[in-house]
Amino acid sequence: MLNLNLLVLMYHKIVEPLSPDFIAKFEAHLDYLTKNFPIVFPGDKLDAKRLNICLTFDDAYCDFYSHVFPLLQRYQAKAILAVPTKYILDSTEVPAQTRLAVPYPNGMDNMLYQSHVPFCTWEELKIMAQSANVTLASHSHSHLHLARELRSEQDFEREIILSKHILEHKTDSPVSSFVYPYGNFSRSLDKKVNETYPHTFRIGSALNRSWKSSLLYRVDATPFWQENRFLSDVELNRYTKQFYWNRLRLK
């Protein structure tokens, strides 16, 4: 019986034109994860004796549709895709090469989201949301540091409530999770956000005790897929200790 039996991993963009080997590395990583761990969605029953893994991808860069989604289907894996709704266009004629060429995290700079369409379109998001492999989460509307940039009730309505309505309306799929941009949150904000979303995700670099807590910690997956290794005992220890430390500080 594992006390902390849920590890939520955080990814951003996998395909970077200057690092053509990244996608092969990610595939090897996904192959390893699916062979060794149960991959779960929020609320799924967890295996009490093993570490369960939940995959989360932030920002909805278009490589998720063109490269990651086919791999999720091939390996029968599933992932949460966190979408900042302001940056999503209905569809696009911009060539894939142009879209993929925008590196992380520049997609939200200088109206690039309109000229280069670096993020998934609603057309693409709907296809994925209606598959068994992807569930969408709100990543707010404008990708703000919410704890300090929400100044009014209207800001809250737009970033927290409207983003959910847009996602559900555009993709005909229910949305039950919220991923804080930059991991930026406060306990008082989370209490309010939790009234709309049963599951909220921050960073926190820690394991979780099942789904019982509505606020879930995530661990940056970059070293795992880029360095072709997974979770040393030292890291497992650190993420375990960090859980208790976060709880102690109400973080």
Binding site for Zn ion (CB under 5 A): 58-59, 181
Residue nearest to Zn ion (CB): 58
What are the helix (H) ranges across 58-205? 63, 69-74, 96-100, 112-115, 122-129, 146-149, 153-156, 163-171, 187-193
Tokens 């996998």 map to which residue? 14
> Can you name the residues that pair with 219 across neighbouring β-strands?
9
Nearer to Zn ion, 42 or 181 (CB): 181
Nearer to Zn ion, 118 or 181 (CB): 181
Q: How far is the CB of 91 from Zn ion (least distance, A)?
A: 23
Q: How far is the CB of 197 from Zn ion (least distance, A)?
A: 16
Nearer to Zn ion, 58 or 124 (CB): 58
Please tell me what DSSP assigns to residue 62.
T
For residue 204, give the H/E element and its range: strand 199-204
Q: How far is the CB of 228 from Zn ion (least distance, A)?
A: 25
Q: How far is the CB of 21 from Zn ion (least distance, A)?
A: 24
**Whether the Cβ atoms of residue 150 and residue 121 lie closer than 8 Å to each other:** no
Nearer to Zn ion, 59 or 159 (CB): 59
